[in-house]
Amino acid sequence: MTDDPFGFTAARKPTTADKLKKFAPSADNSRSEPVAIERADAAGAALGFVPRENTRATVLRKRKDIGPTVAINMRVPEAVAARFIKFCEEHRLSYWEGVEELMKRNGIT
C-alpha cells in the first residue's frame, strides 16, 4: 500500500520556481582575470564572426526652430497619402517640410 492513497504527492514536489530559487552560480571561477576584448574579437574574427558594434558616427539632425505651430488634420485617399509619405522619406523631410517644399515648387509662398 502506498503512503499517499489519494495522489497528493505531486502537489508536494518542488515547483520550477522553487528549483530556480535554489539555483546559484558555482563559487569556483576557473578564470582569475577577464579576457581582453581585443583577444576575444581576434578569436571571433578567426572563426568568421564580425563585430556588431556601430562603427559609423551617428549623424544627429538639427531640429529646426519653427516657432508657433497649428495642428492640421485631414483625410486623404490612401494612394495620395502613400505618395506623400514616400516623397517625404525620399527627401528626408518631415511632413510639414514636405508640404512646404511642395508649396515652394508650385510658387505658393
Residue 46 has which C-alpha cell? 578567426
Binned at pLDDT 50, 70 and 90, residue 93 comes out as very high
Q: What is the pLDDT of residues 7-59, one digit of tens each?
A: 676 666 778 888 888 888 777 666 656 678 888 888 899 999 987 877 777 77
Question: CB of 66 within 8 A of CB of 96?
Answer: yes
| Helices 95-105 and 78-90, packing angle to 10 deg | 90
* DSSP H helices in the chain: 9-12, 16-22, 37-46, 78-90, 95-105
Residue 37 has which C-alpha cell? 576584448
Residue 20 identity (one-letter amino acid): L
